[in-house]
A and B are shown apart, each in its own frame.
Chain A
């Protein structure tokens, strides 16, 4: 059983790595925050699986907490981006009259 859970945590870590790659590649700041959000969700699952691998169910509290705080983190990061629009990699795009991107 443990072997399967270890394999599962490896799979979850691969997913996290993929998300991290997207966070590094961008291209817009929103892709990065989205990837970090996904990274956080996967981290919750990883902690949950870890609790079962190590046989310490009280570790689940950390997963519980992270699922709540991940959200606060994303919202806070968005507030920062909203405040300084040029923190984004590209300058704010000029929106044409018909709303399309240049």
Chain B
């Protein structure tokens, strides 16, 4: 499998599609099955395919560990931040009806931001787990 040409060609074609699909699942959580968690896992599987086809080091260059840690933290920050902001508007934690004048608009904005936070964190953490274990096996 070291020099599997077909795997590389197929991965080249599929990876952008899988990433786009992950983002589609991310943003259509309220219309069809899906949401942040699923999107994060799908995204990380795209990078995983890249690592399997082109090697772990190449993949680690595309998504450096520092960026992953930062992304995971950013996701949690988004989630918690949305909750705290709704506290400032005088509601309960994560009561995002208050994020806009109209409660439904506020809920819409709130759910999109929350899902984004979940998606970012899940994608980053999945990749961190994968890289950690894969490196341990290699050494």
Contact = CB atoms under 8 A, between A and B. Distances in A.
A75 B32 contact: no
Interface string B33-50: 110000000100100110
B1 A69 contact: no
Main secondary structure, interface of A, reads helix
A65 interface: yes
Interface string A41-81: 00000000000000000110110110011011001101100
A75 B52 CA distance: 7
| Category for how many chain A residues contact B | 10 to 19
Given A58-B31, A72-B49, A75-B49, A65 B1 contact: no
25 contacts: A58-B32, A59-B33, A61-B25, A61-B33, A61-B34, A62-B33, A65-B25, A65-B42, A68-B18, A68-B21, A69-B45, A71-B10, A71-B14, A72-B45, A72-B48, A72-B52, A75-B7, A75-B52, A76-B48, A76-B52, A78-B1, A79-B1, A79-B52, A82-B1, A83-B137
Interface of B: 1, 7, 10, 14, 17-18, 21, 25, 31-34, 42, 45, 48-49, 52-53, 137
